[in-house]
Amino acid sequence: MAQSCYLLSGSSPSPSIFSSSLRSNKYSKKNTCTTITTTSSPPHHLPLFPNSSSSKSFIPFSSSPSFGFGSVRKKEKSPPPTIMAGSPGKNQFASASDHLRHVGSLSTLSSGAGKIPHLNAIVLGEGLASEENDLVFPSQEFSSQALVSSPAQYLEMYRKSILDPSGFWSEIASQFYWEKKWPQQQQVYTENLDVRNGDIKIEWFKGGMTNICYNALDRNIEAGNGDKIAMYWEGNELNQDGSLTYTQLLHQVCQLANYLKDIGVSKGDAVVIYLPMLMELPIAMLACARIGAIHSVVFAGFSADSLSQRIVDCKPKAVITCNAVRRGSKVIHLKEIVDAALVDSAKNGFSVGVVLNYANESAMKRESTKWTDGRDIWWQDTVPKYPTTCAVEWVDAEDPLFLLYTSGSTGKPKGVLHTTGGYMIYTATTFKYAFDYKSSDIYWCTADCGWITGHSYVTYGPLLNGATVVVFEGAPNYPNASRCWDIVDKYKVSLFYTAPTLVRSLMRDGDEFVTRYSRKSLRVLGSVGEPINPSAWRWFFNVVGDSRCPISDTWWQTETGGFMITPLPGAWPQKPGSATFPFFGVLPVIVDEKGTEIDGECSGYLCVKNSWPGAFRTLYGDHDRYETTYFKPFPGYYFTGDGCRRDKDGYHWLTGRVDDVINVSGHRIGTAEVESALVSHPQCAEAAVVGVEHEVKGQGIYAFVTLVDGVPYSEELRKSLTLAVRKQIGAFAAPDKIHWAPGLPKTRSGKIMRRILRKIASRQLDELGDTSTLADPSVVDQLIALSDQ
């Protein structure tokens, strides 16, 4: 029986949907609203799980008849949704009266852990906080066709995922191919998130044997989708394009996999991939996965020093790169960067025997490429000679899939390790629901595969669903600011996923670059990498989406593998700038400085109190750092490093990093990394780096630099310091501002007071707070006086 609960506007607001631990019974007796019980299911509700089989006669994930994998309904033109100011929309969310507030209410449930309350969420009506009055509703036509079409359906599915995670995720996992199922007599997952109880441990589907490449390619081909386009490729120039069907993609993956095996790469070996956004990048990832090798993609904007660090750490059997890439009007010589990195890695005790080079002749001719005989191999001369079939290496669900290095507050990059089975299930499922994916959709994510978004939502998540993906090599503002919309119209893109930095940049260029293109194919928009400010959200919605496309404003991390808090576009009204509610199986909590969970409306540290299939398992070669960074700050929880505010309606608002990591254009950069690069300069005595608000990038890098005695400040020195950072890390980490500092504000124990530096950098000079504890308070006045130099 389905329950609906209504509160008259003016009655007490219901408690937040995720305001407290699911183990408390705090609100179960406080809900005094009238309950209306019906025998009908929520609109267009689909059975939760399909019939499935572990044999090869599987139900294709992208077309199975239930759990949201239903047939595609005929699209009709939708009336545009509207931004509402505290009043209900006239669609399936509204009741018969505009004065009613619809509340999704689940009664108190029983579980082995005792009573848990239920998910009370105010969805419509008045009484919203003044800064959160605006609600954006999907159209009734959109919601009626959505995989999750109502708050009630979301709440029921979420409830199942929390109360019975083993049952919930094993039903989904059964829709994929497993050479051997995980042992049915044991629980699907094992977890210990509390360092007080021993080593941190997370395992999902352990004992099950599968292969993510097989599930992404062979499985879809066997389902009859071999001739479907898997990837469209759009090059840097307007006349550069190409495509691969699923069958063609599999053939190229197998050829590369066979080559890798021939040079001695086997299960458990690492391969570093340093490529631009050519189709060869996901091909290389999938080829490694097919033979059980561990790929480590390094963003092709990192410097030789950064690449060398990663090579020395993971010790790859081979490096895959290309001679050069053209980004906009610039040519970047990637092979030369690799050469320099390998010289450095050899000095640090590790040499690479094979460098496979793709000849990207649109950027650089082969004959101009510097070459090392016996080590360097041309892709085009070698890989196509290998067979187009390759035996699958079946791996345990807990065997490593990839390493991806991310910035940390200590300076040394962290090798985030993801395993196969749980990551496969989680990325496929999050992609499906967060984008309301239909088999007819054309999907484009603007991210690079050098970052986690490119792993999860350019490559694995979409292909596991049998989707058609656009891969874009160029720059979104080249040759002009309309390039994105030219691509959207050219390929009839229906799902468009990008970063707030790009949204703000395009917004600044003006509406005319957008509106000259049709964009009628667009159906769902998405945002990733950092919180999106409400004004950028509204521009994205109103101008790009013509006020008709819901926005999936996703929050997640390299470490989480997939979306953690995200709207489901047909289920909830949205608040511009809010990530809304958690994805299935995720229990986010907000804690105070002491690690105590805070109920209701609050701000604090965002943590997660349970494991989920897509979670990373360790930091490569450094499990102690894994525990210290993520699990010791608040024992019993995964600490995200982010701050969060939860409003009284349960919506989550990410407030940014609370550690020494800066989020620049969606890229996490450790302050210690930048400081280390600055002080490597012979004329820099000391440096301290903080993040400041940036109108385009979200956060900018602001560096306070103390020079060696006797060295004068100069513009030439400023450029030289910036170049040092570009060389050691990459251009994306270059400081936006270098502030000359005769000294830095330190306590008597020598600790730099970054709080004060952030206030000075942000020009919040009346909020400096108590400076009496500084060893030399006069330093603050000197820094303020030098602010404009």
List, by residue number, the catalytic residues. 659
From CA 659, how far away is CA 632, in angstroms rounded? 14
Q: Is residue 396 within 8 Å of residue 211, measured between CB atoms?
A: no
Nearest Cα neighbor of 403 from 438, 455, 362 is 455
Q: Is residue 145 within 8 Å of residue 92, measured between CB atoms?
A: no
Amino acid at 522: L
From CA 120, how far away is CA 201, in angstroms rounded? 32
Asked whether the bond before 576 is cis by omega within 30 degrees of 0, the reply is no
3-state secondary structure of 1: coil
Q: Please give the C-alpha separations between residue 204 and each of 399, 431, 578, 612, in angstroms, as whole numbers.
A: 11, 19, 30, 8
From CA 536, how far away is CA 635, in angstroms rounded? 37
3-state secondary structure of 782: helix
From CA 505, how far away is CA 476, in angstroms rounded? 10
Asked whether the bond before 479 is cis by omega within 30 degrees of 0, the reply is yes
From CA 342, how far away is CA 688, in angstroms rounded? 30
Q: Which residues contact 723 (CB under 8 A, 6 or more apart)?
A: none
150-159 burial, b for 16+ CB within 10 Å, e for fewer?
A: bbbbbbbbbb
From CA 468, how far away is CA 709, in angstroms rounded? 59
Q: Which residues contact 242 (CB under 8 A, 6 or more apart)?
A: 232, 233, 235, 279
Structure tokens of 400? Answer: 């490593």
Amino acid at 121: A
Structure tokens of 118? Answer: 């239920």
